[in-house]
Structure 1
């Protein structure tokens, strides 16, 4: 059991608070949905962003942990039934990211923050180097991130802290702030976005990209699209669904091509399977990476059945998308030991199977979300019914 927090420096480190499996699921959500973040070399995925990009169903895996964290913070700091969640976000700190000494309420627009919870999704030294968390005073004075651990502390000057620069890799966390001020309750904002979204397309679970500027990482006059980079790390590329001349491609912003229908390519081959947009394709690939061992078992059965090989095109120059992309910068920022740049050793049949499994996963989450929304609208809070909690844990 963790030691009681001191009154002088109220904080607590909770070891093994949540499972490795949940770490990997949240990593999948972040790497298939995240955008350029609020600080240099930081990428983020927030609940309002998921709701706005038609990925509100991805909120469900957060909720059981979110409730447990709120209970733990209230119990630890003696404020039962007083708190609201002010912010929930997946945050990755990449090469060059750091922050100096500060408290989490150190700006006028942050004064509402009372407590913080930092949930570590991967491991220091194994998945990234640098990025240690330090408190200015008190114990623990430093925290080396370990997947499944949670650090909770007050957001005021009693817990001034900093984070060392990340040397390489991607330091992944789920970060929450809690407030006593109900006017800053995050849930109302998220529920409002979700309710508006489902009025128009209640049955759609396919992602809709945000503005292309939100995915564009820029440094020293060069840059890359984070969606394109993460697809490239897995050994694939985006491809046009029809041959276009260079003149056709020059008529629009190249990054806007990622908002439309496209194929996935590998080397000089193109899979003739249409994806609604780049986020759709990225989610399928990241799902294949996350569920690789499970898909390997399904692959054997499919191969035994002798399924027909998917249609493949020879990739010509006119099928290539003229996307601006600095490969070297992408590897520098997102690369390192935690980068899933191990090329997926899949045959095209495997990717088709993975796409079907992804659709099963997200469609079930989406159906569960639709069941929850009337309760969310009525109670003005994000929570899960018990039978849905069981499903979320099962997946």
Structure 2
């Protein structure tokens, strides 16, 4: 009997470094949209390209290569596989999935193998959400950050995921196929080539994210046609981290705007507010602000001693009229505070301590560190792109 039949699954402990797990967490919490099932949120590579953040695919590139090699080696299918899908997926309170195999729907028949990389810790960052196999060993998998589970996408690996009872369970999920027509790289390269042309023509900003349609960020999705209840997930993530936003346009956020009108303002220039203080620094849109805030928490220990460069920091106290406008806006785009807190409000002990010691000067330094990080990724991506186009594959270039 072939090894692939004896061992239809493979577990790799500590496959990803904790630093890489944190980087992918930063990307997901800065860019995700409402996902494919209730209480699930996702960030696909295609979405990163569509929202002017193609440089953020760079941290994924070596992971995709390494996992593809592991799958081919373990299942004896060298040079046969294509990456069919790459995405960050988080499961929040209430999310679960019953027994199924990954090829049990006709439109997924092309999938041969799956790899799930866990980016945070069971019983620390989330509760519930155990991975179960119907047959064979291990029957239960309690994920820890850096662990990977690989398995065949067939009836040998019927599985389920227990309900999340607290926190946010975050994974990087890849599917592999032997069918070249489902090669994810070909689709990504088409979009990347178009992006490179636009950036050379100055048709799009160099590195600032662009917000997708409002319904992609509204939870629950069934309310996205009328926005009568629920919340915008970008605003909610900022809010649970202690931030509000104020429009740069003084005429914005005034009654009688409805939710759909206010949501349009999330794609326009704004300022960040914390407590009763406003940072006089203009962010391009809420995604720009959200990336910087999440970068701040990711790089918190480094930011404490960072040297501030560029313009001096300026923070002003909110006036009573500004506070009223912020409260009105919050009521329009965060109708369900409790639901937002339940899904995004879980913080580890270390983050709680750091949040209590928030410092505007340290945060302001993070803006420039974020720009340097993004520019370096973009530089590496544009350097790699001609090689990717030549070989019609996305891969890591040798270090020079």
Provide, for residues 108-152 of structure 1, a one-character-per-residue CA deviation record: whole Å limited to 9, x for no partner: 000000000000101110111000000000011110001111100
2: distance between equivalents of 1:71 and 1:251?
48
Deviation of 1:314 after TM superposition, in Å, equals 2.3
1:243 aligned residue: 250
SS of equivalent residue, structure 1 residue 147: coil
1: distance between equivalents of 2:398 and 2:267?
37
- The counterpart of 1:258, out of the listed 252, 255, 266, is 266
- The counterpart of 2:142, out of the listed 140, 144, 169, is 144
2:126 aligned residue: 128
Query: Do the aligned residues in 1 keep the contact of 2:235 with 2:333 (CA within 8 Å)?
Result: no
- The counterpart of 1:267, out of the listed 275, 282, 298, is 275
SS of equivalent residue, structure 1 residue 253: helix
Deviation of 1:337 after TM superposition, in Å, equals 4.8
Q: Does 1:287 align with 2:299?
A: no
Query: Do the aligned residues in 2 keep the contact of 1:97 with 1:166 (CA within 8 Å)?
Result: yes
- Tell me, which stretches of 5 or more residues in structure 2 are unaligned? none
2: distance between equivalents of 1:77 and 1:291?
38
**TM-score of the aligned structures, taking structure 2 as reference length:** 0.90
Provide, for residues 293-338 of structure 1, a one-character-per-residue CA deviation record: whole Å limited to 9, x for no partner: 000121xx55xx9x95424252414652624202111011223355
Q: Does 1:211 align with 2:210?
A: no
1:376 aligned residue: 388
2: distance between equivalents of 1:51 and 1:26?
16
Deviation of 1:199 after TM superposition, in Å, equals 1.8
Query: Do the aligned residues in 1 keep the contact of 2:279 with 2:314 (CA within 8 Å)?
Result: yes
Deviation of 1:345 after TM superposition, in Å, equals 3.1
- Counting only pairs closer than 5 Å after superposition, residues 219-238 of structure 1 correspond to structure 2 as 222-238=229-245
Q: Does 1:63 align with 2:84?
A: no
Query: Do the aligned residues in 2 keep the contact of 1:86 with 1:176 (CA within 8 Å)?
Result: yes
Query: Do the aligned residues in 1 keep the contact of 2:189 with 2:392 (CA within 8 Å)?
Result: yes
1:352 aligned residue: 364
2:345 aligned residue: 335
SS of equivalent residue, structure 1 residue 200: helix
- Counting only pairs closer than 5 Å after superposition, residues 292-303 of structure 1 correspond to structure 2 as 292-298=300-306, 301-302=307-308
SS of equivalent residue, structure 1 residue 263: strand
2: distance between equivalents of 1:43 and 1:346?
28
1: distance between equivalents of 2:349 and 2:31?
16
2: distance between equivalents of 1:72 and 1:296?
39
SS of equivalent residue, structure 2 residue 340: helix
2: distance between equivalents of 1:25 and 1:33?
12
1:391 aligned residue: none
Q: CA RMSD in A?
A: 2.3
2:333 aligned residue: 324
Deviation of 1:286 after TM superposition, in Å, equals 0.4
1:193 aligned residue: 191
Query: Do the aligned residues in 2 keep the contact of 1:8 with 1:158 (CA within 8 Å)?
Result: no
Query: Do the aligned residues in 1 keep the contact of 2:277 with 2:315 (CA within 8 Å)?
Result: no
Query: Do the aligned residues in 2 keep the contact of 1:120 with 1:173 (CA within 8 Å)?
Result: yes
1:111 aligned residue: 109
1: distance between equivalents of 2:345 and 2:365?
28
1: distance between equivalents of 2:42 and 2:111?
19
Higher mean Cα deviation, 264-273 or 308-317? 308-317
Deviation of 1:191 after TM superposition, in Å, equals 1.3
2:182 aligned residue: 184
Higher mean Cα deviation, 105-114 or 233-242? 233-242
- Tell me, which stretches of 5 or more residues in structure 1 are unaligned? 389-395
SS of equivalent residue, structure 1 residue 273: coil
